[in-house]
Amino acid sequence: MSATTAQAVLSLLGDADRVALQEICGDRIRFNEPLAPYTSWKIGGPADAFATVETQSQLADLLRFCLRRRMPWWIIGAGSNVLVGDGGVRGIVMRLAGEFAAAHVRAEDHRVIVVAGGSADMALVTAKAASAGANGIGSLAGIPGTVGGSLRMNAGTDREIGEFVREVWVQSPSRPEPHPASVRYLYRQSTLARDVVVSRVVLEFARSSAGDVRSEMQTRLVRRKKTQPIALPNAGSCFRNPPEDKAARLIEAAGAKGWREGNAEVSSLHANFINNLGGATAKDVATLLARVRRAVRDRWNVELKLEVHLVGVFIDAT
């Protein structure tokens, strides 16, 4: 290991930090915790500290600590759109749970209101909202993320979550108590500030027949199963679609389906997905991403942009 790599994987935490974190988080803090189990790709080295945060006041305390100690931090949702480096993540990785996982749905005369915590599971939210007749919720069905991650990514299909957002509540190191934020939504991204955690979201849908909404959702879920390798570890589409085209079409036409690096493979079902065939490293995936991007550039003169977020330290894992 080179001196630079050794430096990059060195924990930023001192003994006093560990004690302070244990005081704030109790047994919900783990040190040197591998992140692979927390990502849909099942890839990623250790976090210096991994905190499971269950209440808004715990989150506020942890964010205050980060500000005071100038400690880097990062929030992970369901980990379904991230590639975490084999060298792991320095500082604190936070994951919301407890009260943040709740989702309440109420039907009013002509609309359906969803109030969800930042780590509410999209599967739970979409199922509950569909049962109340939330028109348009089918567009968000089958997205394996949390509400907070989906908001940051403006996740969706033909319609995106941003279209339905009425309120977003966030917490940050400089303003740790929950407060409303104003956010704009763009294709697979939002203007949500980098240093905020989404703690609560209110969504609003027009109301229609619950039966119709549920059956539309079912049709979409069946189609998804046929067109995406959902049984294998991956992170969905790796690249954003370029204007007026589909990344999957360009990748397939560049002949990349089935390409392999180590134990990572370009899916032969959906060319914009990269599957972990078992034991793939972040380096395998990153190398494959670079190969695919180069092939599409050479063949089509199109520069693909990553949809997945790369996080942490990328090193040679071997």
Which position among 20, 51, 235, 282 is part of the footprint of ligand FAD (CB under 6 A)?
A: 235
- 145 binds ligand FAD per the rule CB under 6 A: yes
CB of 77 to ligand FAD, least distance (A): 2
- 132 binds ligand FAD per the rule CB under 6 A: no
- 162 binds ligand FAD per the rule CB under 6 A: no
Closest CA to 143 of 129, 173, 158, 123: 123
- 296 binds ligand FAD per the rule CB under 6 A: no
- 157 binds ligand FAD per the rule CB under 6 A: yes
Closest CA to 164 of 156, 173, 172: 156
Q: x/- string (CB under 6 A) for ligand FAD, residues 91-120?
A: -----x---------------------x--
Q: Are 65 and 133 in contact (CB under 8 A)?
A: no
Q: x/- string (CB under 6 A) for ligand FAD, residues 33-62?
A: -------x----------------------
CB of 315 to ligand FAD, least distance (A): 20
Q: Between residues 207 and 289, which has the closer beta carbon with respect to ligand FAD?
A: 289
From 42-50, 206-214, 227-235, 263-271, give the range in contact with ligand FAD by CB under 6 A: 227-235
Q: Are 48 and 250 in contact (CB under 8 A)?
A: no
- 267 binds ligand FAD per the rule CB under 6 A: no
Closest CA to 85 of 158, 35, 10: 35
The phi-psi region of residue 156 (left if phi > 0; otherwise alpha if psi is between -120 and 50; otherwise beta) is left
What Rg, from alpha-carbon coordinates, does the chain have?
20
Cα distance between residue 147 and residue 178, in whole Å? 16
Cα distance between residue 183 and residue 165, in whole Å? 9
- 191 binds ligand FAD per the rule CB under 6 A: no
First to last CA, the chain: 10
Could you write out the DSSP letters of every residue in 38-103? GSTT----EEEEEEEE-SHHHHHHHHHHHHHHT--EEEESS-SSEEE-TT-EEEEEEEE-GGGG-E
- 76 binds ligand FAD per the rule CB under 6 A: yes
- 241 binds ligand FAD per the rule CB under 6 A: no
Active site residue: 188, 200, 207, 293, which one? 188
Active site residue 307: yes
- 236 binds ligand FAD per the rule CB under 6 A: yes
Which position among 87, 91, 148, 176 is part of the footprint of ligand FAD (CB under 6 A)?
A: 148
Active site residue: 139, 150, 172, 237, which one? 237
Cα distance between residue 110 and residue 212, in whole Å? 15
Q: Between residues 18 and 309, which has the closer beta carbon with respect to ligand FAD?
A: 309
- 190 binds ligand FAD per the rule CB under 6 A: no
- The residue type of 246 is K
Which position among 52, 56, 58, 81 is part of the footprint of ligand FAD (CB under 6 A)?
A: 81
Active site residue 237: yes
- Longest alpha-carbon distance in the chain: 64
Q: Are 40 and 80 in contact (CB under 8 A)?
A: yes
CB of 33 to ligand FAD, least distance (A): 15
Q: Torsion angle of alpha carbons 100, 197, 68, 49, nearest 10°?
A: 70
- The contact set with ligand FAD (CB under 6 A) reads 40, 74-82, 96, 118, 143-146, 148-150, 152-153, 155-157, 197-198, 228, 230, 234-236, 309
Which residues are catalytic, by number? 188, 237, 307
